[in-house]
Structure 1
Amino acid sequence: MPNITPCLWFDREAEDAAKLYVSLFPNSKITKVSRYPEGLPGDRAGQVLTVEFELDGKTFTGLNGGPQFPHSEAISFQIYVKDQAELDHYWDGLIAGRGEESRCGWLKDRFGVSWQVVPEKLAAWMTNPQTAGRVSAAFMPMKRLDLAVLEKAAAG
């Protein structure tokens, strides 16, 4: 299978977004920055065009392409966490600086990128007919997920 790299379209914030993301995820780094060349229409010569970065070994590209295509919830990134401390780390880091909480463990960071911060156990709970209804009922009213409440719901 060929390598697939998500490309995130920004207006002018790709480098700032990459810096935030690499600060939150372990084993992460910015690997390359390219700049708009001289001679193109517009006012972007010398400004950041693309930022290549890795989040825990997974490659991403940030592209400063202009305001034409804003982010939406139609695409989100899922972060599966082991415990509440890890969930809180990502939630607090991604929501900082005018991010927006949504429901059921979803949020938008300050750049408009959507994230789901959920426990690793969620898939098992949701595919088990004995726990799916209770867990769903527990997380539906939540914004940030409370793992203790979800574990209690799963246990019955």
Structure 2
Amino acid sequence: MPKIVSHLWFAKDAGQAVDFYVSVIPNSALSGTTTVPAETPSGPPGSVKVIEFTLGDQNFMALEAGPLDPFNHAFSILVECDSQAEIDRIWDAFLDNGGEPEQCGWLKDRWGLSWQIAPRVLGEMMADPDHERAKRVTEVMLGMVKLDIAALERAFRSEN
């Protein structure tokens, strides 16, 4: 069976990024680092690093190989949280480390990678068969920066 790994290209500081991600996201680990021993289009032997890691149960590989294409919103990492305390802790850690908040639970880390820090229940509420409930939750979510579980649940139950 094939193994699926999300691959992230960093211009520089991939090791710092991975160390930060692993320290903030529960059940994460650095698996290994390899320095490419041959000359590559990005530079001489030793100038390219490959870092394998997991965030939660998801496999990732970070490549530090100089500038290519910057990260953009076409790819983001969704972190589904079970509590507001977990959302707050992860959100604040990213902002304290140079991240920038965006709308609807999105933020961009200091390396330019997009993240979505969201409550696990949000997807269930937005997919509710009662379209009015789902619409209320979606409208409330669209007005937020950091997501607030209690406000989303109030909208879902129509306790605005």
Which residue is 2:145 aligned to?
143
With normalisation by structure 2, the TM-score equals 0.88
Gaps of 5+ in 1: none
Aligned mate of 1:133, from 107, 120, 135: 135
Return 129-138 or 99-108, whichever deviates more.
129-138
Where 1:110 maps in the other structure, the secondary structure is coil
Counterparts of residues 1-156 of structure 1 (less than 5 Å) = 1-37=1-37, 39-40=39-40, 45-47=45-47, 49-128=49-128, 129-156=131-158
- Mark the CA change 1:36 to 1:148 in structure 2 (over 3 Å): closer, same or farther: same
Residue type at the aligned position of 2:157: A
CA RMSD of aligned residues (A): 1.8
Separation of aligned partners in 2, 1:136 and 1:146: 12
Separation of aligned partners in 1, 2:16 and 2:22: 10
Separation of aligned partners in 1, 2:23 and 2:48: 19
Gaps of 5+ in 2: none
| CA offsets 1:71-127 (integer angstroms, 9 cap, x no match) | 000011111111110111111122222211110001111111111111111111111
Where 2:50 maps in the other structure, the secondary structure is strand
Report if aligned partners of 1:33, 1:48 keep a CA contact under 8 Å in 2: no
Paired positions, count: 156
How many Å apart are 1:39 and its aligned residue? 4.7
